[in-house]
Amino acid sequence: MSVSPSASVSPAAPSPAPTQADLLDFVRRTAADTELIASLPLDPEGRTWVRLDGPGGSEAWLIGWPPGSGTGWHDHAESVGAFLTAAGELKENSLAARLPSNGWKTLELEEGVDRERRLPTGKGRAFGQHHVHEVLNESSEEHAISVHAYYPPLPQIRRYSRTGPVLRLEQVERPEDWQ
């Protein structure tokens, strides 16, 4: 088939935004890349990270967790995401409650909203928008390594403090704070 010079060729349609399942598949495949996982520099004093190219314009990270480290309570705003432990074991504490996205500083959580998940090597999870959680490496001796992906790329991270049932918004970070 030939195309005449005056025929119009339509541009390719943009690829659809990656879903939570796409992001989970990506972190699973990336965590299986043993050479990549072994290349992450590990620091005994603090978390280390390397930015990766995620699928469909998503933001992805390879993160090293020294013993006893964690994120504190936070969410990823309007982004959906997935993460998977590539080495070691992580623990995720999360809230099974839909929180208001804006306009509050302090919330009293209802009973029964706490969830705990152990994520040994090869285990991960996907999550939706406004998912509030903390991720911890509770080992006293071993580093953990994980792969994370978010779409759309993180517009902000909201950090919280928690005392019993009371959750307080403490800080809002923007990409320039962590890149």
Over residues 68-91, the pLDDT tens digits come to 999 999 999 899 999 999 999 999
- Per-residue pLDDT reduced to its tens digit, 128-151: 998 999 999 999 999 999 999 999
- pTM higher than 0.75 for the full model? yes
Sheet with 80-87, strands from edge to edge, namely 48-53, 59-65, 144-151, 80-87, 124-127
- Kind plus residue range of the DSSP H or E element containing 34: helix 34-39
pLDDT at 12: 58
Relative to beta strand 73-75, strand 157-163 is: antiparallel
Query: Among all chains, which residue has been given the structure tokens 């959680």?
Result: 133
Of 4-13, 101-110, 117-126, the range with the lowest mean pLDDT is 4-13
